[in-house]
Amino acid sequence: MSSAGNSDPAPRTVLSALRVYTERPALVMVALGFSAGLPYFLIFDTLSAWFRASGLSLEVIGFFSLVTLVSTFKFLWAPFVDRAQVPLLTRWFGHRRSWMLVCQGLIMLGLWLVAGFDPSRSLGGIAMCAFVVGLASATQDIAIDAWRIEAAGVSRQGVMAAAYQWGYRVAIIVAGAVPLLLAESYGWNFSYAVMAALMAVGVLGVLAAPREERHAIRPMQTGGIQPAPAREALEWAARLALLAAGALVLGSGLAANAGVLGGVLGAVGATGPRDLVLSAWASEARVWIHLAAVLAGFALIVLATLPLPGARTRPGVYLSSALLDPLRDFFARYRSAGGLILALICLYRIPDFVLNIMNPFYLDLGYTLVEIAQVRKIFGVAMTMLGVFAGGVAVVRYGLLPAMVIGACAGPLSNLLFIWLALQDHSLIALFLAIGLDNVAGGFAGTCLIAYMSSLTSVGFTATQYALFSSLYAIPGRLLASQSGRIVEGAARLAEDGGLFGGLRGLFAGQAPQNFATALERSGVSPASLGAGYVVFFAYSALIGVFAVVLSLAVQRRQEQEDVEEPTRRVAGGSRSAADGSS
C-alpha cells in the first residue's frame, strides 16, 4: 500500500519542521490560498448582502446560494484539466500554472462585470457572471491542488495544506469585511471592482511559484476504432445528458435542496414529477431521500462513463479513461486497502460536520450575539489557524499516518468539551476554552486529511483523483448534519417524558436561570430536558468519531505491514528475474 507522490526526506526535528514554512512553495501557497478563498466568499456569501441591500427577496438570495453546487461537481471536469493544455501559456508557465492564470483572468473579468451591474435591474447578468466566477473558481481549485501535490513531496504536504488554509482564511476575512466597509462609503459597484483587482495577489503567486515537475498525460487507447461522426455525436449527446442528470440529482441530494431539480422538471413540463420531488425533499423521511439521491446521482454518472456492451466507441473510451481510469489506478495501487482508505476519507471529519447547530446551542446557553461573534468569529478563527499550523508541523515531524491518528482522536475528544460547557454557568472563560480547543482540533485534523488525500494521488491523475477525494469526504457528514437538530430535540423529549435519557436532567439542577431559559418556547421542553438533549447529541457526535479513529489505526497498521513486506517482495522479484535470465 505504497503512497504515491514525490518522495523527499522528512525533517524529524521540530526546528527543521518549522523551517519548511519558510520555503518558497509554502510561501507561494499562502497567495494561492488567498486567490482561492476570495472569489468563493464574494459570490457565495457577500453577494447576498448586496442583494438584500438592493431589496431582493430572501427566496431569490437563497436560490443564488445553489451556485455553490458547482464546486461539488469539479471532479467531472478535473480530467480535462489533467489532460488539456493551454495554448502558449503551457509552454511558458507549465501545465498547472497556465490553468491557474486562465482561471484567475476569468475570475477578475467576472467580478469586474458584476461590479458594473445593478441587482435590481440586471439580475440575469449578475447570475451569468456569478456562474462563470464559480466555475472558474472551482477550476482554479483543481489546478492549485494539483500544483501543490506535484510541486512538493509527501512529507511537506501538511505544511503546504496549512499555508493554503492560512491564505484562504485571510481571504474570507477580507471578502467578508472589506466589501461591506467600501460599500458603505463608495457603493457596492466600486467595492466589487476593488475585489476584482485583489485577485492580482493570486497572479503574483503563480508568477512566483516554481514550475511543477514535467506533466504526464495518460494515453487513451482508441486504436482500431473506426470513426463514425453521426453515431458518435448522438452517443456524446446521450452520455452528456446522462452526466448532467446525474450531477443534478447528486447536487440536489448533497445540498438538501431540490429547487434547481424542480425548476428543470417544471421547465420541461413535468409538473407532476416536480411536485413529487419537492414534497419528497420536504418530507419526514427527507434524509433518506437525500441519501438515495446522492447514490442515484453517482449511479447515473458511472453509467454515463461505462463502455457500450460489446462495442468500443470513442465517447465510451474517452469518458471511461477520463473518469474511471483514475479509480482503477487507485485500486490497482492500494488493492484491498482501497475501500478502507475511502471509508476513512468519508468518515474522518464527521464529528466536525455534525456540529452545525452551534450558534443555536450558544444562544440557548444565554450567550449574546456579540459574545458569540467575539469568541467564535475572531478568537475561534485564530485558534483554527493555530491548529492548521500545528497539523502541518505534525505531518512533517511525525509522519502522515501518525498525525492522522492524532487528528482522528482530537475531533471526538474536543466535542466532549461542549458537554462540559453545557454544565457550566454563564462563563466567557468556559466559552473561550471550549471553542478554542475545538477549533484547534478541527484545524489540525483538516490539515492532516488534506495532506493524506494528496498523498493518495498518482502522476497523470493528480487533479482528477484529488477532486474526487475532496468531493467524497463531505458526503456522509452533510447528510448526517441535516439530522443534528432533530437528534437534540428528540433526545430532549425523551428526557422530558422520563424515558431513556430522563436521568440526565439531574445534571442541570441548580443551574443559572439564563441557561436554556427559552427551552419551553423554542423546543417545547423544560430547560433541564433541553440540556439533556444537548448532552446526548455531543456524546453521539463523539461516538461516531470513534469510527475514524479505528479506521486511521487500521490504515496505519496496513501501511506498516506493507513497509515490512515490500523489501521481501522486491528480493523475491529480483530472484525470479535472475532465475529467468539464467534459464
* 578 pLDDT more than 50: no
Give the per-residue pLDDT at 60.
Answer: 65
pLDDT of residue 156: 81
Q: Which three cell numbers stand for residue 253?
A: 441530494
Average pLDDT over residues 413-439: 92
* Mean pLDDT taken over the chain: 84
Mean pLDDT of the 4-22 span: 61
pLDDT recorded at residue 3: 45
Least confident of 39-48, 185-194, 542-551: 39-48
- What does the buried/exposed string (b/e) look like for 398-417 if buried means 16 or more CB atoms within 10 Å of the residue's CB? bbbbebbbbbbbbbbebbbb
Q: Span 85-114, mean pLDDT?
A: 91
Angle subtended by helix axes 400-422 and 428-455, to nearest 10: 160
Q: Mean pLDDT throughout 399-414?
A: 92
Handedness of CA 556, 149, 338, 467 (dihedral sign): positive
pLDDT band of 258, cuts 50, 70, 90: confident
pTM over 0.85: no
The helix/strand count (H/E) of the chain reads as 30, 0
Per-residue confidence at 43, pLDDT binned at 50, 70, 90? confident
Q: At 304, give phi and psi (nearest 5°).
A: -65, -20
Domains 1-211 and 326-572 share a fold: yes
pLDDT of residue 513: 63
Q: What is the mean pLDDT of residues 551-576?
A: 69
Rounded to whole angstroms, what are the CA distances from 106 to 140, 145, 416, 497?
10, 18, 45, 58
In this model, does residue 483 exceed pLDDT 70? Answer: yes
Whether 138 has a pLDDT exceeding 60, the answer reads yes
What was the pLDDT predicted at 28?
A: 92
Mean pLDDT of 46-64: 71
pLDDT at 519 over 70: no
Does the structure show a pLDDT above 50 at 577? no
* Buried b or exposed e, range 518-554, using 16+ CB within 10 angstroms: ebeeebebbbbbbbbbbbbbbbbbbebbebbbebbee
Task: Calculate Rg over the CA atoms of the chain.
Answer: 25
Euclidean distance between CA atoms 307 and 298, whole angstroms = 16
Q: Which residue, among 298, 251, 254, has the nearest Cα to 482 in the 3D structure?
A: 254
User: What's the pLDDT band for 353 if we cut at 50, 70, 90?
Assistant: confident
Output 502 or 548, whichever has higher pLDDT: 548
Task: Cell 452551534: give the residue.
Answer: 358
Mean pLDDT calculated for residue range 515-536: 80
Percent of the chain at pLDDT > 90 equals 28
8 Å CB contact between 117 and 126:
yes
Would you give the end-to-end CA distance of the chain in angstroms? 32
Mean pLDDT of 148-164: 85
CATH code linked to domain 326-572: 1.20.1250.20
Question: What is the model's pLDDT at position 8?
Answer: 55
**Amino acid at the residue 142:** I
State the CATH architecture for 1-211.
Answer: Up-down Bundle (1.20)
Q: Is the pLDDT of residue 1 over 80?
A: no
Q: Please report the pLDDT score of residue 481 as a whole number.
A: 79
The count of other CB atoms within 10 Å of the CB of residue 455 is: 21
DSSP-based three-state secondary structure for 439: helix
Domains of the chain, residue spans: 1-211, 232-312, 326-572
For the segment 509-518, the average pLDDT, to the nearest whole number, is: 70
Mean pLDDT of 376-400: 88
SS3 string, 479-529, reads: HHHCCHHHHHHHHHHHHHCCCCCHHHHHHHCCCCCCCCCCHHHHHCCCHHH
Spatial contact of 461 and 167, defined as CB atoms under 8 Å apart: no
